[in-house]
Structures are given as C-alpha cells and as structure tokens.
Amino acid sequence: MIRLVFCLRRKAGMSLAEFQDYWLEQHAPLVAGFATDLNILRYVQTHTLEDPGNEAAQQARGAMEPHYDGVAELWWSTEAELEAAMQSEAGQAAGTALLEDEGRFIDLPESPLWFAYEYPQVNPVPENVVAKVKSNVVRVFFPLRHQARISEDAARHYWLTQHGPIVRSHAEATGMLCYRQVHRANSPLDQALQESRGTKVESYLGHAEAWIDRGSAPATAEARLANQTFIEDEHNFIDMQRSTIWFGKEHTIIDRR
C-alpha cells in the first residue's frame, strides 16, 4: 500500500486542544464521507501529546526542530488507484472540499505532506497495535532528514540495512511492540498536493514509527543501553537539526483493509 503522510501545525491563535478537537470532531467526518469517492482504505489521526517525553526524546538527540501538533495518514492499495481516484470528477470535488476545510485549522504552508511506502521491522501478527487514548501504549513518530554529506540513496540504504537491524536486535530489551520505517516514495503526485496548499517546508526522507507500552516498558540498564545505541547510530545518517520526534495517540477514522 501507499501512504500519504501529512505533518500538521495548527493555525496561529488556536490552542492545541482547539486544533485537535476540530480535526477529530469536524474534519474527520468530512474525510470519512469522501472515503468512497477517494477510494481511501485507511485514515488515522495521531494527536501529539503534551508530554515531557517529547522534550526528553529531543534533548537526548541534540537540537531538533519543534515537533508537530499531529499527523494525518491515509492509505491506498496502489499508486495507480490513488491517481485514478484523485483524477475522477468525484475525487476532485472531494479534494476541493477537504482543502477548503483544512484551511480553517491547519497552517498549510508549514505542514509538509508526501507519499510513502512502509517497511516493517518489528511487526506483530496480526497488525493490531494501536496507541488508543485510554491505554498505556504511545506511538513514537520520528520524521527525519539525512545528513548533507551522504546521498539520499545512501541514507535510505543505511537506514534499512544498518540501523533497522540494530533496532530489531534490541527491540525486546526496550519493550518495543512495533517498529516500521516509512520511506518517502518520491511520487510525482506530491507536487500537486504541495502546490495546492502552498507548502513551504521541505519533505522529510521519511519517518520512523514505533509503539511502546509505557505501563510495561522495562526500566533496566539493558533498556537504557539499547536506547543509547539507537541514538548513537542515528547520528551516522540523520541530520538531527532538521528532524524531530514526539509521542502521540491514535484515532482510527477509516479502516477498510
């Protein structure tokens, strides 16, 4: 499947609570109403938590960008099906309506969006781990950009073949429930969505996502060493000053997989 990743910053003058309430209570039903017209298979909102863990995760990595207020993600079976839905008369009307509503609560120029493909690394079967509001599970969201000294292809290769195995090897020690790498697809469809929203922020190389149960995550020396190992290796390919990380809770709006 192909996934749209849309990192959101709220409009000036809105509190985080006001932004997230409008997004969930007003915008989500609008998207759900267009699910058939746009052939959306899945739609998830991840709402950023006001949590000291955000700052701690960033400080552990050095200076980073401010985290976002949330991320919207939508899935389609294939890029061809996505393109067909977007080009249909009904799909274009839906896109216009959604964009109009986005402008009511999202700072669109400061909210980057791109299409991506996911690469599971630590994946439960069935894939049913969700950071629900009333649970101890949180989702870690880590949009990253690679260092200028290495090429995009080299960064992707390192992320997949070097960093991925390191995380997998320590997953049990840290109590990690799920870990995926989600790499930007470099789709030609990106440009139209970005131009329509006046996007100013450069897309990320992709993002890492992980789910952790805070109620049972081990606070051991082995777990601390594992997290230190993760961060040390991240510095081999990630430009931390142009990346960010935060914790969030998920709201699944559409799931027709």
Parse the chain into domains and list their residue ranges: 2-255
CA separation (Å) from 192 to 72, 92, 183? Answer: 18, 12, 19
Please state the φ and ψ torsions of residue 14, each to the nearest 5 degrees. Answer: -95, 140
**What does the pLDDT read at residue 126?**
87
- CB neighbours (10 Å) of residue 1? 14
- What is the pLDDT, as a whole number, of residue 140? 98
Can you give the pLDDT at residue 105? 98
Q: What is the pLDDT of residue 65?
A: 98
Res 160: pLDDT: 98
Please tell me the total number of residues recorded for the chain in this structure.
257
β partners of residue 142: 208
pLDDT of residue 142: 98
Q: Model's pTM, two decimal places?
A: 0.96
Q: What one-letter code names the amino acid at 74?
A: L
Nearest to 53 by CA among 71, 63, 65, 67: 67
186 backbone dihedrals φ, ψ, rounded to 5°: 55, 45
**Distance between CA atoms of residues 199 and 221, nearest Å:** 43
Question: What DSSP string describes 113-159?
Answer: EEEEEEEEEE--SS------TTSSEEEEEEEE-B-TTS-HHHHHHHI
| CATH class of the region 2-255 | alpha beta
Token code pair at residue 233: 């290796």
Distances in Å between the Cα of 151 and the Cα atoms of 63, 79, 118, 163, 188 are 22, 25, 20, 16, 20
Q: How many Å apart are CA 221 and CA 139, to the nearest integer? A: 23
Output the pLDDT for position 218.
85
Successive 10-residue mean pLDDT values, the chain, 257 residues:
98 98 98 96 98 95 97 96 93 97 98 98 92 96 98 98 97 94 97 97 98 90 94 98 98 95
The residues facing 213 across adjacent strands are 137
pLDDT at 217: 84
